[in-house]
Amino acid sequence: MNASLNLCASSSPFRLENEQAYQAWRVRKLDARERIDPTRVFTPDRDGQLSTSDCPALKQQLQAFNFVLFAANPEEFDKQAFINLNHQFGLHDPDANLGADADRVTALQVVDVTDARAQYIPYTNRAMNWHTDGYYNPPERRINAFALYCVRPAQRGGGNYLFDHEMMYLLIRDQSPDLLEALLQDDLMHIPANLQGSEVIRREETGPVFSLQADSAALNMRYTSRPHNIVWKADQRSQRALNLVREILMGSDALIDVSLQAGQGMVCNNILHGRHAFQDVAKHPARLVLRARYRDAINLSHGLCAENPG
């Protein structure tokens, strides 16, 4: 870690010892959420380019909610435009996964039961409970942002629900700093290896729920509500902390529902999210959503706003 990053990490509002910095950040966060409409939609052109005049509004939207919604012309907006749009947000380091194409973009759609991907929920029409993307990845492949683009919606269902991970941190820190400290422990969350026969598809991983991003000391969250293929630390404080996360997800008004239609999408830091079950209809095109995961976090100064500080 270089000297500038050391300074950044030491002053981060997400370190428990930095109470003054946290309180200042908290005021800004809550004020932004009061003033800004989370459902505001930005409009890229057919090549995925946004207007630099959007920079101030984009920065405010991300400060408030950590996600941005967009709507393009579905007749003109293709996968390359989707990738170009993500570049506008400073996202240049895509992460590969088992179902991704050569460009590391994944086509999420229901696959036949004979397809090896059918064992993974994103390739079915089943509901997906609360999670952050890539929670099972090793530290060097930590997912800090992802983007979705709806090519075709389902005939019924398939909407997403979102919860800003920074708001989760804020609510827990306000209620119980002691339990927040438990969520920062490196041995809290254990994911067994993914074995397919004798082949190791993914090695086992152990780590915290909350951590600081390696390059910026911003907040990263790793979490899943799945009861299978995950082992949580069993001591009383850890279990109380996890129960608090679940209670907040069930009862907080910070939850936001989003139903993406054709041509619509979302770019976000790796916020908590889930998906409702859905149904396709025979003889109609099936639901298709493109997804790109990134190891870098959103940074407009490395994209659209590089020369326009807004």
d(C-alpha 279, C-alpha 261), whole Å:
15
Could you tell me the pTM of the whole model?
Answer: 0.93
Cβ–Cβ under 8 Å, residues 42 and 54: yes
Architecture of the domain made up of 3-302: 4-Layer Sandwich (3.60)
What pLDDT does 81 receive? Answer: 98
CA nearest 254: which of 241, 245, 242, 267?
245
Residue 67: CB atoms within 10 A of its CB come to 23
Phi/psi at 64 (5° precision): -75, -45
pLDDT at position 268 is 98
According to the model, what pLDDT value does residue 89 have? 98
Task: Report the pLDDT value the prediction gives residue 196, as an integer from 0 to 100.
Answer: 72
Report whether pLDDT(284) > 90.
no
As a whole number of angstroms, the distance between CA 20 and CA 159 comes to 38
Question: What is the average per-residue pLDDT within 13-34?
Answer: 96
Task: Give the pLDDT band (50/70/90) at residue 11.
Answer: confident
Q: Binning pLDDT at 50, 70 and 90, where does residue 227 land? A: confident
Percent of the chain with pLDDT over 90: 80
Q: What is the pLDDT of residue 3?
A: 42
Average pLDDT over residues 115-135: 93
* Nearest C-alpha neighbor of 194 from the set 203, 181, 185, 186: 203
The dihedral built from the CA positions of residue 103, 107, 108 and 113, taken in this order, carries a sign that is negative
All residues at 6 or more sequence positions from 138 whose CB lies less than 8 Å from its CB, including other chains: 203, 205
Mean pLDDT of 112-130: 92
What residue segments make up the domains of the chain, in order of their start?
A: 3-302
Output the CA torsion sign for 85, 89, 95, 97.
negative
Residues paired with 131 in a beta bridge = 224, 273
Nearest to 100 by CA among 85, 121, 86, 117: 117
Confidence at residue 308, expressed as pLDDT on a 0 to 100 scale: 54
**Could you read off the pLDDT of 136-189 as tens digits, one per residue?**
999 889 999 999 999 999 999 999 999 999 999 999 999 999 999 999 999 999
C-alpha separations of 101 from 96, 187, 189 in Å: 8, 33, 29
**What is the spatial distance between Cα 214 and Cα 1, in angstroms, rounded to a whole number?**
8
- CA-wise closest residue to 94 among 79, 115, 73, 109: 79
